[in-house]
Amino acid sequence: KQEVTQIPAALSVPEGENLVLNCSFTDSAIYNLQWFRQDPGKGLTSLLLIQSSQREQTSGRLNASLDKSSGRSTLYIAASQPGDSATYLCAVLPFNAGGTSYGKLTFGQGTILTVHP
């Protein structure tokens, strides 16, 4: 059974710092890995999606990497801002037997990020 773990569970940093959030998964047979952001009391917003054949994706100050063989992904946030404060979730899309996938994501527990001015 696929298990996804995110470390740390919570992180507090001063504004301007570069930071790294970690995600590890136990089964390397995945289609892709997705990073989400969740603001308090809100739904999930997709930040980056990395296909299994890719090693990284970038969007603005965000960079996500994927090392499928070691079962790890990192989300790098450059020059953090108070507006980055949120919970960050990673999720993997398993590779189903037969090559099909019905999009059943397995989520980590999330990292709560606080960026203080």
Partner 1 sequence: NAGVTQTPKFRVLKTGQSMTLLCAQDMNHEYMYWYRQDPGMGLRLIHYSVGEGTTAKGEVPDGYNVSRLKKQNFLLGLESAAPSQTSVYFCASRPGQVKSYEQYFGPGTRLTVT
> With DSSP H G I counted as helix, E B as strand and the rest as coil, what are the percentages for the chain, rounded to 5?
5, 55, 40
Nearest to 84 by CA among 9, 13, 6, 7: 13
Binding of partner 1 at residue 93 (CB under 8 A)?
yes
What's the closest the beta carbon of residue 41 comes to partner 1, in angstroms?
8
Is 31 a binding residue for partner 1 by CB under 8 A? The answer is yes
Find the shortest distance in angstroms from Cβ 105 to partner 1: 7
Eight-class DSSP state of 81: -
Summarize as ranges the residues that interact with partner 1 (CB under 8 A). 4, 31-32, 34, 36, 41-46, 49, 89, 91, 93, 100-105, 107-110
